[in-house]
Amino acid sequence: MNVKVLFIALSLLLMSCSGLERSEKAKIKSLNVQKEKITRSEDDIAYHLVTPKKRGAKAYFWGNKVASNLPKITKEYFRCKGSYKNPPIHLHKNSSNEKYLLDCNGFDEHSLPVKDEKEYIYPALIELLNYVQENSLKQVVITCGHRCPKHNLYTEINATRSKHLIGAEVDFYVLGLQAQIGNVVEIIKKYYENRHKEYGPLVNTTSNSFENKEIRLKVRSSKEQKDLDNQHPYPYITIELKYDRDTKKAVHYSWKISHQSVMKW
């Protein structure tokens, strides 16, 4: 019993000592504190706020399959194909006026065009390409969907008003039908005959172009000069949207959408 009392007394003594020590330290600290007046004009900024990097969730392409077991096409497939791995393009050989074009870094640098606070590609293009996959049972390969202004300049310097910039144009070929591109055009004709008669049949405007109310379709031969997004040996199709199903208005290139609706992160 005595041992217990002694132990408690010792503990209390030690605690009070450390309490005394703490209060002594605080007293010394307060005596040594030096106060300085901070003078600052109203324009001074102590530090800059850095906007946190916003990253969209990477798509899991295998998450949404069509009947043929092909990945369903979504807006993710339309992301800008720019990359820092692409070498700078030397524009002027004249040593006094050296100029280089740099590529963007694609999805790691920026979003798709944003509409109503969401990334946006015209759904008509997505629906049409899924129809091509479902009816050919072959995979559509999108070589160029959206292009940001930087990548557009890098890949096709003269296409300054391309609808790729606003998510209203797509270049693609169909894996397994590279040599039968006419079959792909026939499937797209059927799409308008069977699913969207309201836009009229796709009719020839030139030997390699077709048009109706909604789209302009061009078949590009494998031999013609290609932009940097289409450096493959196959012929391919370009579809440009002319008409917007939602607004029921013509789709035009817009500087504002192409330059200001893309979020950088």
Residues at the interface with Zn ion (CB under 5 A): 80, 82, 104, 148, 151
Per the CB < 8 A criterion, the answer to whether 122 and 148 are in contact is no
Nearest to 134 by CA among 89, 206, 68: 68
Q: Which is nearer to Zn ion, 125 or 148 (CB)?
A: 148
Q: Which is nearer to Zn ion, 138 or 146 (CB)?
A: 146
Q: What minimum distance in Å lies between the beta carbon of 29 and Zn ion?
A: 56
Pairing label, strands 118-119, 110-115: antiparallel
Pairing label, strands 140-144, 169-174: antiparallel
DSSP 138: S
How many Å apart are CA 79 and CA 121, to the nearest integer?
A: 9
How many Å apart are CA 147 and CA 158, to the nearest integer?
A: 14
Q: What minimum distance in Å lies between the beta carbon of 233 and Zn ion?
A: 25
Within 10 Å of residue 256's Cβ, how many Cβ atoms?
A: 8
Q: Which is nearer to Zn ion, 151 or 220 (CB)?
A: 151
The length of the chain in residues reads 265
Residue 196, both tokens: 């969207």
**What's the sign of the alpha-carbon dihedral 207, 210, 211, 215?**
negative
Tokens 């792909």 belong to which residue?
A: 184
Cα-atom radius of gyration of the chain, to the nearest Å?
A: 32
Q: Which is nearer to Zn ion, 86 or 238 (CB)?
A: 86
Q: What minimum distance in Å lies between the beta carbon of 178 and Zn ion?
A: 26
Q: Which is nearer to Zn ion, 128 or 142 (CB)?
A: 142
DSSP 106: G
Q: Which is nearer to Zn ion, 80 or 142 (CB)?
A: 80
Residue 217 phi, psi (nearest 5)? -115, 130
Q: Which is nearer to Zn ion, 75 or 151 (CB)?
A: 151
Q: What minimum distance in Å lies between the beta carbon of 139 and Zn ion?
A: 24
Q: What minimum distance in Å lies between the beta carbon of 210 and Zn ion?
A: 29
Q: What minimum distance in Å lies between the beta carbon of 158 and Zn ion?
A: 18
**What's the sign of the alpha-carbon dihedral 251, 162, 143, 192?**
positive
Q: What minimum distance in Å lies between the beta carbon of 147 and Zn ion?
A: 6
Q: What minimum distance in Å lies between the beta carbon of 74 and Zn ion?
A: 18
Q: Which is nearer to Zn ion, 104 or 188 (CB)?
A: 104
